[in-house]
Structure 1
Amino acid sequence: MKRFSTLFLVSLLSGVTTLGAYKLLFDDNGYFSKNHNNITTLASEYGVKTVGLSANTVDFTEAAEKTIHTVVHVKNVSRTTVSNPLLEYFYGFRGGQEQEQVGTGSGVIISEDGYIVTNNHVVKDASLIEITLNNKQSFKAKVIGTDSKMDIALLKIDAGEKLPYTTFANSDSVRIGEWALAVGNPYNLTSTVTAGIISAKARNLDTSGIQSFIQTDAAVNPGNSGGALVNTRGELIGINTMISSPTGSYTGYSFAIPSNIARKIIQDLMEFGNVQRGILGVEGGELNALASKELGVKETEGFYIKKVSKNSGAEKAGLGKGDIIIKIDDQNIATYADLSGYINAKRPNDKVEVTIIRNENTKVVPVILSKNEIFNTEFKGLELENIDGLDKKKFHIDYGVKIKSITNENLKQYENDLKGNIILSIDNIKAKDLETVSNILKNKDESQSIQMEMINKNGQIIRIII
């Protein structure tokens, strides 16, 4: 009898388990039922959270359909002269054979009258630019303006009709983990759409220009450059620009210029013909555990000010050495890329609210941004400033920094020979602008000698060691 009772109890438990499993898995709302949408509910002490495990929970089709008609194929035709060293050596032949080179990339239509944004490197040195729309129509494009520092170019075509275009989103509002679509023409495969998530924001890749990329894991390959990175509503959040890869093709991460920076550059090019750069006027570095320990501060995030530039908005507002910037307007500042990315979307004379920590107290300081051309720095008694358009035209250059004045007593005797010269490189590193020069010099001690290549007032190239 006891054995019978045991068998009965086991049978009963087996039946209940089977019935429960069936209800859980195959009933109307079971995991494998037709009505189930692969949604798992996770309970915790903080409540219930719904997590989507299927692409069915996100619809990319609307965003893809809207974007593919606004992304164009960009063909860059350039011509170079190739010399023949044998003919030059044996026969003194100094001519060369002209060869045509073709590069391709992508672009994004941003207005119904045919304005297109792309990367500067996609159209650099082009003698002919051809735009092909998604409907296979082709047009010649003219360059309205470029910004090599931020790798943005603005093109214009005349299609004779209103064109579909992409609207800009606020890239500062993009969130890590958010879905994004990359649309472009990799390997000349037109209208290619890939999906991924926002992997990181304000990514600093130590380029000489933009230092605040949006990082995604959407597949981007050669030919995608200049194409669109959009959100699930089809709004532009970035211009796909580069990949990080040991092979030259996609291996996991791609990087885009935030739309706020691209939009500001485009507006400047359309309105002024050049980019109006505003600067805060501070030099320093981002905090981390090691830097904070060395500086003797408690905060491990933020931008630590080591120096304030003369006559800058920061100096006039009273910012000083030792202040820690933790926020600008509503943007939290944890790294240098956060700071530079936000300021790069601003113009001279824009007012920003800078939140700082000073002597362990939080303070909000209004700062009016200065124009980049008046930004100057000093090293070894040389006061340096950015060159202007007249300098570029006079010496046929597109980069460099000018020696504004001499305060070094040892160099005073050479003041007439040095003042006004334009420095082209420091220790064989191109001196593109003061920001680049500041980054070069901040790692050098005043006692270290440096080599400079420069153009003097007569247009001659000279080299000095100081």
Structure 2
Amino acid sequence: MKNLSARHYLTASGLALLMAVSPAVAQQSATTAPANANQPLAAPDSAARSQQVMPESFADLVEQVSPAVVNITTTSTVASPLAGGPQLPEGSPFSDLFRDFGFPGMPPQDDEGDSPRPFGRGAPEQRSNALGSGFVVSPDGLIVTNNHVIDGADQIEIEFFSGKTLPAKVVGKDDKTDIAVLKVDSKDPLPFVKFGDSDKSRVGDWVLALGNPLGQGFSATTGIVSARNRALSGTYDDFIQTDAAINRGNSGGPLFNMDGEVIGVNTAILSPNGGSIGIGFSMASNVVSKVVDQLEAYGETRRGWLGVKIQPVTQDIADSLGLADAKGAMVTDVPTGPAADAGMKAGDVITSFAGGDVKDPRDLVRRVADAPVGEAVDVVVQREGKPVDLKITLGRRELAEGTGTNPAGNDSGAQSTSQLMGMTVAPLTPDVAAEIGVSREMQGLVVQEVDPEGAAADKGLQPGDVITEAGQQPVTSLADLEARIAEARKGGRKSVLMLVRRAGEPRFVALPID
């Protein structure tokens, strides 16, 4: 369970987590306010109250969903702590940093086990165990948990509520939402649970958390939704805050509503001492379910990419631009990418995306990420006091950042490819260009895979890069590239100079000839 110390919590969130009023609270206040402001707030009618009182028991719900909740044990090889490491007093400004790197006496804050992380070159190796929780989401054995539960694990073992154990393999993981999908092979269909609509949860709703806190085995705790739409420090954060007791080991476990649907994945706590103080955070199911679908289908996420830098629209900015409301996302820079190709400019205020109003930069980022890669979307910006309609074909964020693999065109197997100098390349098509966020008119060869031990990796090439020149001549086909390499060999050169574009930005790279 990620432990957000009071200092870390305030630093990471900039106090916004404590001071922000969630949209759910604001909406609830608006709907319950009396028509006459001089009248007191009316309590729900008796019929509504009868549905909101605390249930006599959660036993039926626990019995219903518990067979799908699992304990997760991981084993990894780490370096033993070296004697004589730095010792820092608690509260030192560097204590959080050294916790992250596992110095003696300062166990890492987001590990489920007790062993420190590896550090120190040449340290002897030892086996380390860690514990967490998860839940089954399909009868064929797909399991959802937190990425930090299984990150770096050599072996993963799943213990079911019945006591049965099975080994698991990683299907995919996403560090931006801290979600991982595992798979076990079972001869019999497994009990599973389904995701609910986290947007329907309301502050004050009852919730049930199940998991393996502190390695004690299966445990159930209950509470209410304390707040919604909390953001900690991640780009795609959408946390449900709850006072249901969540401790180390609960990481990756489910947060259920009263219908037995998973509305959150228990991920983090706010605590000065590492234990529950009634402030826990579960990543909302409407975020998790999309990530799980992509990890199951591709083994990685495929988020939309607009290609802009943005900032909030303050009231001062709104007034200076003649905007009626301080809403939307102001564009501060438009590097080469999908938005630039569509004509977006710095100073534009994005007010609508895919037919829906944009509330703020966070809202825009999440909606762009959820949008299909390679498809055109309608975007409205305010420019010089007037609305301007743009149609933008979204790229793929992971490729723009150099973290994705298998650009489109390699999936079907029909596209001709070639392995040269430690990389797999294929001709750039308009569809692939749209996916990686460059102009559909660009010509060249797209890098699909890079051998981590090869020459291309040594020079920093990544999947999604586009080679537009080799030997200072344009290349549009595999034959062009092979011809440039042959010419370099014939001329006695040991390398060939290539012009490589990443997200449209050019740089020259000299790759050694095999």
Q: TM-score, normalised by structure 2?
A: 0.58
Letter in 2 for 1:260: N
Q: 1:357 to 1:247 in 2, by over 3 A?
A: farther
Q: What is residue 126 of structure 2 aligned with on the other side? A: 99
Higher-Rg member (1/2):
1
**Residue 109 (str. 1) matches residue 103 (str. 2):** no
Equivalent residue number for residue 374 of structure 2: 349
CA-CA distance at 1:397 after TM superposition: 12
Task: Return the offset for 1:375.
Answer: 3.6
C-alpha separation between the residues in 2 aligned to 1:77 and 1:335?
Answer: 42
Q: Superposed, which structure 2 residues align to 1:274-423 within 5 Å?
A: 274-289=300-315, 292=318, 297-312=323-338, 314-329=339-354, 333-350=358-375, 352-354=377-379, 356-360=381-385, 367-372=392-397, 375=400, 389-390=449-450, 394=454, 395=457
Q: Which has the higher strand share?
A: 1
Change beyond 3 A, Cα 1:457–1:136: farther
- Distance in 1 of aligned mates of 2:267 and 2:460: 22
Give SS of 2:373's match.
coil
Q: Deviations over 1:121-160 (max 9, x none)?
A: 1001111111111122111111122223332211111232
Task: Work out which of the residue numbers 159, 163, 172 in structure 2 matches 1:132.
Answer: 159
- Following superposition, the deviation at residue 49 of structure 1 comes to 4.6
What is the DSSP-based 3-state SS (H/G/I as helix, E as strand, rest coil) of the residue aligned with 1:182? strand
Q: Structure 1 residues 102, 163: CA separation in 2 closer, same or farther (over 3 Å shift)?
A: same
Query: Match for residue 237 of structure 1?
Result: 263
CA distance in 2, matches of 1:131, 1:73: 6
- Among 44, 51, 57, which residue is 1:50 paired with? 44
CA separation in 2, counterparts of 1:399 and 1:192?
A: 48
Amino acid at match of 2:127: E
Aligned-residue offset at 1:187 = 1.2
Q: Which residue of 1 aligns with 2:281?
A: 255
Mapped to 2, the partners of 1:158 and 1:401 lie a distance apart of 31
Q: Which residue of 2 aligns with 1:194?
A: 222
Distance 1:56 1:274, change over 3 A: closer
Q: 1:143 aligns with which of 158, 170, 180?
A: 170
Give a deviation string over 1:305-364, Cα, whole Å, max 9, x none.
22334231x345444333333454576533332222333333412454545444555677
CA spacing shift, 1:95–1:197, aligned 2, 3 Å = closer
Contact 2:252–2:266 (CA under 8 A) maintained in structure 1: yes
Residues 212-254 of structure 1 show CA distances to partners (whole Å, capped at 9, x for unaligned) of 4333343322111111123222222222222233323333432
Secondary structure at the residue paired with 1:344?
A: helix
> By how many angstroms is 1:111 displaced?
0.2
Output the amino acid matched with 1:149.
K
| Unpaired stretches in structure 1, ≥5 consecutive residues | 1-40, 87-93, 378-383, 406-415, 423-433, 435-455, 460-466
Aligned equivalent of 2:77: 79
Cα deviation for residue 61 of structure 1 reads: 5.3
Gaps of 5+ in 2: 1-31, 85-120, 403-436, 439-445, 468-495, 504-508
Q: Kindly tell me: are residues 345 and 169 of structure 1, through their superposed partners in 2, closer, same or farther at Cα, counting changes over 3 Å?
A: farther
Distance 1:81 1:206, change over 3 A: closer
- Letter of the 1:325 partner, please give it: I
- Aligned AA (1:109): V
Distance 2:148 2:461 in 1: 17
Contact 1:68 1:191 in 2 (8 A): no
Amino acid at match of 2:180: A
TM-score for both structures, normalised by structure 1: 0.64
1:188 to partner: Cα distance: 2.1
CA distance in 1, matches of 2:253, 2:275: 16
Paired residues, number = 364
Within 2, Cα distance between the matches of 1:173 and 1:319? 35
Change beyond 3 A, Cα 1:225–1:364: farther
How far off its partner does 1:303 sit?
A: 1.4
Matching residue's letter, 1:133: F
- C-alpha contact (below 8 Å) 1:212/1:337 kept by paired residues: no
- What CA distance in whole angstroms lies between the structure 1 residues aligned with 2:126 and 2:357? 51
